[in-house]
Amino acid sequence: MSTEFAVELRDVVKKFVTPEGHELNAVDHVTMQIKNGEFFSMLGSSGCGKTTSLRMIAGFEWPSEGEVYIEGKAMGHTPPFQRKVNTVFQSYALFQHMTIFQNVAFGLEMEGVKEDEIKKRVGRALEMVQLSGMERRKPRQLSGGQQQRVALARSLVKTPSVLLLDEPLGALDLKLRKEMQLELKSLQQQLGITFIYVTHDQEEALTMSDRIAVMSKGKVQQMGTPVEIYERPANKFVADFIGESNFLEGKLKSISGNEAVVFVPILNAEVTGMPMAKDLVNGSDVTVAIRPEKIRVVENQSGAGVFKAKVGTSVYIGSDTHLYFDLNGTRLKVMEQNRISSLDPSTFYVKDEEVLFTFPPENTLILKKD
Ligand SMILES: Nc1ncnc2c1ncn2[C@@H]1O[C@H](COP(=O)(O)OP(=O)(O)O)[C@@H](O)[C@H]1O
Ligand SMILES: [Mg+2]
């Protein structure tokens, strides 16, 4: 068994019985391999099984089926304190009556670590999260972001090789959250610790992660780097959940390698795109997915790949203009970056004005219809 992986879940199922008496697969045949030193995120909306997966890695829950491996060893019913992982919870509950030093030292004291060793390690942990000098303060004398960093120091002081983080920035306001995202990422890189990070926030996952597992209803929908997940979503769920997509219905005409030709009735034309599933066959119904920012408005062009629409609404938001085109009754979202500074009214979009647009085949994805 290779120990290239810090943590591995193999075909893990977790069944719960709901208060209504139904059996539920909160985690439904999940397999993932998390590499040493990786920043790995589980991303999905509330209830998709992220916390349950993390709790099974930590040892607070045991799988109903399948197995969790840490550093190549099957964990079975190994209790949490005997696993080489440490958890930072969403509600970081610091001891309010204790100083920052005491809060961070607590776990080591419980383990009976010697006093001068504790001092050294707490000092180092506080240094890592940039809170040196705050040792004597009480939690309420710190900001929300600083308190979150104390919670982090409390985990880091145990020098775990894997840190599990369950929506650790959830309680912070947006600006602080963004700062902490970058801080956490650079801390992870410095320390070389494996981070397994749970979030429902797609931007957070894209910003921080080396790889992401997109989850829905207890299943992994796709696993990949942020670029792979965004540019090559495996299915309609991922294309819709991460960023935005326009979906057009069509029929597959032909397929060869990385090129699929689809007839799209609403365009009354064939479009070429990248096939995103292996089992697409000629004649089957498919969904064409196009990102709003990949659509380009053009002038005085015609021919294959150039289509006509009417402007529905256009919203100027400074950096971009968000447009809704009316495509024979279907709404098409288009995002245009405002590269040109102009106050000339004739350069702005007008409702019902006719426009021509095009989109590149390499950014047009052909998905299985579901
Ligand atoms: N102890 C439990 N008993 C029964 N159902 C549970 C229990 N824990 C979680 N669930 C259910 O399992 C599903 C996944 O929960 P969870 O892992 O907490 O999701 P997430 O962290 O992605 O929001 C949810 O439907 C939740 O209601
Ligand atoms: Mg959760």
Tell me 21's DSSP state.
Answer: S
Average pLDDT (105-128) is 93
How far, in Å, CA of 293 to CA of 246, rounded?
10
Average pLDDT (302-327) is 92
> What count of other Cβ atoms lies within 10 Å of the Cβ of residue 79?
9
Confidence class for position 92, pLDDT limits 50, 70, 90: low
Q: Where are the alpha helices (DSSP H) in 22-62?
A: 50-58
Predicted local distance difference test score (pLDDT) of residue 306: 95
Give the three-state DSSP class for 73: strand
Predicted local distance difference test score (pLDDT) of residue 91: 62
Confidence class for position 344, pLDDT limits 50, 70, 90: confident
Q: Is 239 in the pocket of ligand 1 (CB under 6 A)?
A: no
pLDDT 10s digits, 264-300? 999 999 999 999 988 899 999 999 999 999 999 999 8
Please indicate whether residue 289 or residue 160 has the higher confidence score (pLDDT). Answer: 289
Q: Give, in degrees to the nearest 5, the angle at Cα 290 between 284 and 292.
A: 160
Please identify, by atom number, the ligand 1 atom nearest to the C-alpha of residue 55: 17
Q: In this model, does residue 55 exceed pLDDT 50?
A: yes
How far, in Å, CA of 202 to CA of 243, rounded?
8
Q: Is 52 in the pocket of ligand 1 (CB under 6 A)?
A: yes
Q: In this model, does residue 367 exceed pLDDT 70?
A: yes
How far, in Å, CA of 207 to CA of 179, rounded?
11
Do residues 11 and 29 lie in contact, with contact meaning Cβ atoms separated by under 8 Å? yes
Q: Is 51 in the pocket of ligand 1 (CB under 6 A)?
A: yes
Q: Say how many Å lie between the CA of residue 223 and the centre of ligand 1.
A: 21
**Domains, the chain, ranges and CATH?**
5-236 (3.40.50.300), 244-368 (2.40.50.100)
The protein residue whose alpha carbon is closest to atom 20 in ligand 1 is 47
The protein residue whose alpha carbon is closest to atom 1 in ligand 1 is 16
> What count of other Cβ atoms lies within 10 Å of the Cβ of residue 153?
23
Q: In this model, does residue 1 exceed pLDDT 50?
A: no
Do residues 62 and 74 lie in contact, with contact meaning Cβ atoms separated by under 8 Å? no
Region of poorest pLDDT, from 123-137, 225-239, 342-356: 342-356
Q: Say how many Å lie between the CA of residue 177 and the centre of ligand 2.
A: 18
How far, in Å, CA of 100 to CA of 135, rounded?
5
CA distances from 105 to 124, 135, 143 (A): 11, 10, 20
Give the three-state DSSP class for 278: coil
Q: Say how many Å lie between the CA of residue 46 and the centre of ligand 2.
A: 6
Mean model confidence pLDDT for the chain: 92
Q: In this model, does residue 149 exceed pLDDT 90?
A: no
Q: Which helix (H) or strand (E) segment is 146 a member of?
A: helix 144-156
3-state secondary structure 240-264: HHCCCCEEEEEEEEEEECCEEEEEE
How far, in Å, CA of 244 to CA of 140, rounded?
40
Residues, CB-to-ion distance under 5 Å, ligand 2? 51
Give the three-state DSSP class for 69: strand
Amino acid at residue number 160:
P
The protein residue whose alpha carbon is closest to atom 26 in ligand 1 is 47
Predicted local distance difference test score (pLDDT) of residue 144: 83
Q: Is 46 in the pocket of ligand 1 (CB under 6 A)?
A: yes
pLDDT 10s digits, 177-231? 888 899 889 989 988 999 999 999 999 999 999 999 999 999 999 999 999 999 9
Q: Is 27 in the pocket of ligand 1 (CB under 6 A)?
A: no
How far, in Å, CA of 261 to CA of 221, rounded?
25
Predicted local distance difference test score (pLDDT) of residue 176: 80
Tokens representing 330 are: 């279907």
Report the half-sphere exposure of 324 (CA within 13 A, side-chain side).
6
Q: Report the percentage of the chain scoring pLDDT > 70.
A: 98
Amino acid at residue number 326:
D
Tokens representing 22 are: 């139904």
How far, in Å, CA of 311 to CA of 335, rounded?
13
Average pLDDT (118-131) is 91
